[in-house]
Structure 1
């Protein structure tokens, strides 16, 4: 019988503490690779004088070194040098801009015109009414009042 598994199902489990994968690896002695800046690190870069775009575009290893040394924006009013920019982020930004340009040019041709949809719907309904009248319309042989069998039917009254 499966009583032991049923009893383990009924016993309350102790709540697990929520840990990230990085925390578990650190406890196990493993290593992890950082892929992007956290929100706190970006905020700290903004406090050091870097713009939002620079904090996003900066190469990760340089951003971590800047945060470790607390280096203020070293190039003054000039834009961030290309050597400091992450190529993958720049390529993604260029790709997004190209998609936006392509989307703007073709958006009007792909969306249906409202008046065309209404006109098509009305034309379809008129066509259906025409078919209905054609198929189930009045039959000229039986629709005349003279052809009704009123003379051959007995007359009934309520006073019988």
Structure 2
């Protein structure tokens, strides 16, 4: 077992960022697919941002309020408040180095909000850069999806992100 798998464990792979949002991923033989290590931690962070804060009976501190911003106007105060909420909730995650999360709004229009989230996982050799999309869906529910994951090389001279 790798160090990352020991630190972050394993979980059932769910469809964050796919057409089957929050559905378990199933292999061709019918078995559930698993995710482990750093990918399990990143999946947990996506779930934290998607879940409304206080809705889990067994962990009322889990979740966030980011879905409240989906239909808001793109104004400087709204952008700052959304990024503050994302940073606060990601920094609260036990998988993340405290204070390492930073967020920036890259796009905000009637179709949704796109964020660039940078964070460091405990024990990881490099930071992660995630591009998140918050979007309303047709049935008035909302989604949070990881649309691109870029792993930084750790080399400060590498600008290939």
TM-score surpassing 0.5? no
More strand by proportion, 1 or 2? Answer: 2
TM-score by length of 2: 0.20
Give the number of the structure whose alpha-carbon radius of gyration is greater.
1
More helix by proportion, 1 or 2? Answer: 1
Greater relative contact order (Cα 8 A, min sep 6): structure 1 or 2?
2
TM-score by length of 1: 0.20
